[in-house]
Amino acid sequence: MPKQVDHRERRETIARALWRVVEQRGVAHLTMREVAQEAGISHGALQHYFASRGAMLSFAMDFAAEQTSLRVGRGLQKLGDEPHPRDVLRLMLTEALPLHADARATSRMSAAYVLEALHDEDVHARAREGLAQGRALVEQLIHQAIADGHIPPDRDPATESNLLLALTGFTTLIELDVIGAQDVLGAVDQYLDRLFTLP
């Protein structure tokens, strides 16, 4: 009997290989041939799953988003049945920053994805949709926190969402060793303390 191939598992193996190429060798080495070699499969086998570099990168980014969602889900479980919205926003934000190995791999993948999106209309559309959904979720959480009396009623949910997401800009400063994780977390906590300070 020929061995049955789990196509989802094979795609995830390829996605993780792509992450390693980006993390260890950089975006310049992100070719289908390099990824196939890293995944331990032939270039032809890789093309069976992904017809283009953009399609491969999009799947790898979708998989990265799934992994981030799983980490956030585990974090939410630890926060209990009715977590404070400040804690939820902090968890979401810190998981978007390269503060541990898995988040760092996702962060570097995101950087490669954005570069690809600038020159590929299909990737651009997918990347834009994903970011818009994430931003909408943050705005929804802030809007609900205002309604529930956790955030002052004069705060604008759209503006506060933009400011909160701007903190993900710490990624570059972390990656290039300009500031450390504790300084970043201190800034995040200070912003959240100001956002949730009631008159």
Per-residue pLDDT, 141: 96
The CA distance from 47 to 162, in Å, is 39
Per-residue pLDDT, 89: 96
Write down the domain spans for the chain: 53-195
Per-residue pLDDT, 9: 85
Per-residue pLDDT, 135: 95
Per-residue pLDDT, 1: 43
DSSP alpha helix (H) spans, the chain = 7-25, 32-39, 43-49, 53-79, 85-95, 101-117, 121-147, 157-166, 170-175, 181-195
The CA distance from 151 to 146, in Å, is 5
Q: Which residue type does 22 have?
A: V
53-195: CATH superfamily: Tetracycline Repressor, domain 2 (1.10.357.10)
Helix orientation angle between 53-79 and 101-117, rounded to the nearest 10 degrees: 140
User: Burial code of 52-71, b = ≥16 C-beta within 10 A, e = fewer?
Assistant: ebbebbbbbbebbbebbeeb
Q: Which residues of the chain have pLDDT under 70?
A: 1-5
Per-residue pLDDT, 90: 96
- For 114, the token pair is 């954005």
State the CB neighbour count (10 A cutoff) for residue 136.
11
Per-residue pLDDT, 2: 45
